[in-house]
Amino acid sequence: MLANHARLIDYLAQAEAWVTAAELADKLGVTTRSVRSYVTAVKSSALPLEVIESSTSGYRLNRDNYAEFLKGASNREAERPRDRQYHLVRRLGDAPEGTDIHALADSFFVSESTIEADLRKIKAAVEESGLTLARRGPLVILSGTEPNLRRLLSKMFRHEESQGFLELESIQREFESSDLRSFKTSLLELLDSHGYFVNEYGINHVLLHVAIAADRTLPRDSETTEAEPAAALSTAPVHSTDAAAFSDDLAELITSHFGANLREDDLNEIELLLTTRVITRAASPDSPADVDLEELTTRVRRTVKHVGEEYLIDLDDDDFIMRLSLHVRNLILRAQDLSYSRNPMTRSIKTTYPMIYELAVFIAAEVQRDEGITIHDDEISYIALHVGSHLERQAKREVRLTAALVCPNYHDLHVILRERIEAVLGDELQLRIVITRTDVDLAELSTDLVLTTIDLRSFADNVVLIQPFLTETDVDAIRRTISRVRRLRRRRELTDELLRFFDPALFLRNFTAPSEEAMIAALGHRMIEAGVIDHGYITGAIERERMSSTAFTDTLAVPHAMTMNAHRTAISIVINETPMPWGENKVNVIALIAFSAAGRTTFQTVFDQFVTVFSDRDYVQQLVKKAVDFPTFIDELVRGIES
């Protein structure tokens, strides 16, 4: 399957509804005619299955048929160049004495020039993995240590299966030596029995490594190949008594499922993968000594303090800091091994929770600087999961709307009703006032909601008429009102805060730049001329961009620095009819946001809601068409906020 065909399917797989040819063309950077030809080609290759459905609404993926198509595809020789290159490395790894290039071309049903091109493409990855690729006449020879070869195969396979989770079924199809699903169940039971907490996102990565190790340890049908001695692993776990027992149990489990007796260095590497990617255990005297946890916790606590100073968000909690420190310890080990954990939720976290992702970027930047490592987007997203779960727990404890209960006095009816409301909605509402009279002046009530058992003849959005004995219908009505009140409050805050940060002099339409950094510099210089920032802010915004792309949606990029040192808070915005490349996206709207120290309190509201407003692709397309000048831009922005 060609690269553009694969990108087409990847995009359709992410879409919830029908996708128009124009949207696909925009995403792929081609014409709608090309999109139609891609769809036709994919359909032809999948016959008799219909993997892409067509209608007047556009295209969508038939997920059931596509899954069936993929199962069948596993029985065919690799079609995509990326797949063929992976199988090429496997073939070369099985023949340390070398493989004839003519035989390779024949086995893959391609020309020798195609194999030559594939060899050129994999050469960099081979060398990065500590292997060498050489030619001796017609022979192609791949040499190096067995562990390095396995790491390369694992990396190439994970890249091949790059969409979403690394699926267990895809590994099973490739390595048929055992039932991986039953092995995974047994492995999880083993980890649980030893008191480990499992990260489900990373477990399949370890299963892939185990499958490769077992596959290359088992003797071949037609040859017996002795692998080169593996290099010693400097990061091998330090075994306590309990760790040694776990090692023995793990070795026995692998032997029973795969029939392969792995060497000690193989088992050490699998344990390292488990401890740095999949499992977490509270610190103890028996914890691995590869990273000084106490010293690391001190540095993490300092970083958390900086987050509070810069963003006015309180993360200073001992449990949170310990959990984050354990995670950062594993992250450091992964970075030292140049083998990072993938997170299939990276895209959705970045788009749906931009502020949480931004806090994670800030933390990752300090860890990266302190430890001298590189931290990628997937690893940043794991930090975001830690931050988000902590903030969610805080929100449940602290951010509750207030309510008044109006229930005329009749024995203890109001007491029973209050207890029932607090039991069901206590996490969302705080009942501050209970009124047992019928003569109620709503103007005197200062709560967010009013719950009443009598009709107050009020049409206010925050008044909910409920029954004296709370019903499920009442609970649903209250929750809908809570949601509506919160939404209206956010809109008011966004409208009040956001609109005052725009300036006609900082509005541009159809303004182009050759790159992301060039656009940041161009907008930054306009802000300097307006007295908003100095040159240091531009440098900071470019550094932030290099850390992780600020394209938070398919259509919007929000470049900014991680320090709030602007002279005043302002937004310079560009609206372009033709999208420009930004990271992995193509965006129509670029908003360089500069916050001053005085603007810290508004950063979270403005940043989160700004991204939310521009996450609706249809709205952005309308904005691009209608916002021909600054006044019409403001009109369309307000419409988007209030819709």
Q: State pTM to two decimals.
A: 0.63
Assess whether pLDDT exceeds 90 at residue 491: no
Residues 267 and 313 in one domain: no
For residue 357, the domain's CATH number is 1.10.1790.10
**DSSP type of residue 19:** B
pLDDT at 510: 96
> What does the pLDDT read at residue 386?
87
Q: Is the pLDDT of residue 73 over 60?
A: no
Q: What is the dihedral of CA 64, 65, 71, 72, to 10 degrees?
A: 170
Looking at the structure of the chain, the number of domains it has is: 5
Mean pLDDT of 340-347: 74
Examine residue 288 and state whether it is found in any structural domain, yes or no: no
User: Helix 146-160 crosses helix 200-217 at what angle (to 10 degrees)?
Assistant: 130
Q: What is the CA radius of gyration of the chain?
A: 29
pLDDT at 1 over 60: no
Q: Do residues 553 and 580 both lie within one domain?
A: yes
Instruction: Give phi and psi for 587, each to the nearest 5.
Output: -115, 145
Return the higher-pLDDT residue of 1 and 118.
Answer: 118
* Pair 25, 31: CB distance under 8 Å: yes
Amino acid at 238: V
Domain boundary among 73, 92, 118: 73
Tell me the residue range of the domain where 616 lies.
500-642
Hey, which residues does 405 pair with through a beta bridge?
434, 451
The tens digit of pLDDT for each residue in 239-281 reads 445 667 888 888 888 888 887 788 777 787 787 777 766 666 5
Query: CB count, 10 Å around CB of 618?
Result: 8
Is the same domain home to 634 and 515? yes
CB-based contacts of 218, cutoff 8 Å, min separation 6: 177, 258, 259, 260
Written in H, E and C, the secondary structure of 436-504 is CCCCCCHHHCCCCEEEECCCCCCCCCCEEECCCCCCHHHHHHHHHHHHHHHHHHHHHHHHHHHHCCEEE
Q: How much is the pLDDT for 201?
A: 63
H-run or E-run covering 556: strand 556-557
**Position 8: which residue type?**
L
- Domain stops at, among 372, 397, 422: 397
Q: Is residue 114 part of a domain?
A: yes
Q: Please, are residues 307 and 359 in contact by the beta-carbon 8 Å criterion?
A: yes
Percentages helix, strand, coil for the chain, rounded to the nearest 5?
55, 15, 30
Claim to verify: residue 457 and residue 530 sit in the same structural domain? no
Q: Domain check: are 436 and 456 in the same one?
A: yes
Give the model's pLDDT for residue 380.
93
Does 182 reside within a domain?
Answer: yes
pLDDT of residue 2: 53
Q: Residue 629 in contact with residue 620, Cβ under 8 Å? A: no
490 band by pLDDT with thresholds 50, 70 and 90: confident
Model pLDDT for residues 9-25, shown as the tens digit of each residue: 878 887 778 888 888 88
CATH code of 436's domain: 3.40.50.2300
Q: In terms of DSSP H, where are the helices of 274-353?
A: 293-311, 318-336, 346-352
Average pLDDT of the chain? 81
CA 205/CA 171 separation, integer angstroms: 10
Higher pLDDT, 395 or 355: 355
Please state the rounded mean pLDDT for residues 144-164.
70
Residue 227 within a domain:
no
pLDDT (tens digit, 9 = 90+) per residue, 28-49? 777 888 888 888 888 877 667 7
Residue 77 in this model has a pLDDT that exceeds 60: no
pLDDT above 90 for 531: yes
Rounded CA-CA distance 283/270 in Å is: 21
Q: Is 530 exposed, middle or buried (0-12, 13-18, 19+ CB in 10 A)?
A: middle
Residues 564 and 605 in one domain: yes
CB 509 within 8 A of CB 629: yes
Question: Is the domain of 516 the same as that of 610?
Answer: yes
* Between 225 and 472, the higher pLDDT residue: 472
Q: Give the DSSP H or E segment for 255.
A: helix 241-258
Q: Are residues 379 and 442 in the same domain?
A: no
Mean pLDDT to the nearest integer, 213-240: 47
Strand order of the β-sheet with 570-582 is: 502-509, 570-582, 585-594, 556-557
**Rounded alpha-carbon distances, angstroms, from residue 253 to 136, 173, 244, 406, 455:** 42, 21, 14, 63, 67
Residues contacting 279, CB < 8 A, separation 6+: 191, 196, 197, 198, 199
Share of the chain above pLDDT 70, in %: 84
Residue pair 145/230 in contact (Cβ under 8 Å)? The answer is yes
146 Cβ contact partners less than 8 Å away, ≥ 6 residues apart: 216, 227, 228, 230
| Co-location of 467 and 593 in the same domain | no
Q: Are 19 and 11 in contact (CB under 8 A)?
A: yes
Per the model's pLDDT, the better-predicted residue between 188 and 241 turns out to be 188
Whats the size of the chain, residue-wise? 643
Same domain, 432 and 487: yes
Q: What's the CATH code of the domain at 43?
A: 1.10.10.10
Under the banding of pLDDT at 50, 70 and 90, the label for residue 363 is: very high
Say whether both 265 and 122 belong to one domain: yes
Pairing of the two strands 139-143 and 279-280: unpaired
Whether residue 629 has pLDDT greater than 90: yes
| CB-based contacts of 407-415 (< 8 A; 24+ apart in sequence) | 407/434, 407/435, 407/436, 407/452, 407/453, 407/468, 408/436, 408/437, 408/438, 408/453, 408/454, 409/436, 409/437, 413/468
Domain end position, chosen among 12, 42, 73: 73
Least confident of 171-180, 282-291, 626-635: 282-291
- Quote the pLDDT of residue 551: 93
Confidence of residue 185 (pLDDT cuts 50, 70, 90): confident
Quote the pLDDT of residue 400: 80
Higher pLDDT, 177 or 247: 247
Residues 530 and 592 in one domain: yes
Residue 511 in domain: yes
- For residue 421, being part of any structural domain is answered with yes
Lowest mean pLDDT among 6-20, 84-98, 313-327, 335-349: 335-349
Residue 284 lies in a domain: no
Answer whether residue 412 is part of any domain. yes
Task: Please name the amino acid found at residue 154.
Answer: S
pLDDT of residue 610: 79
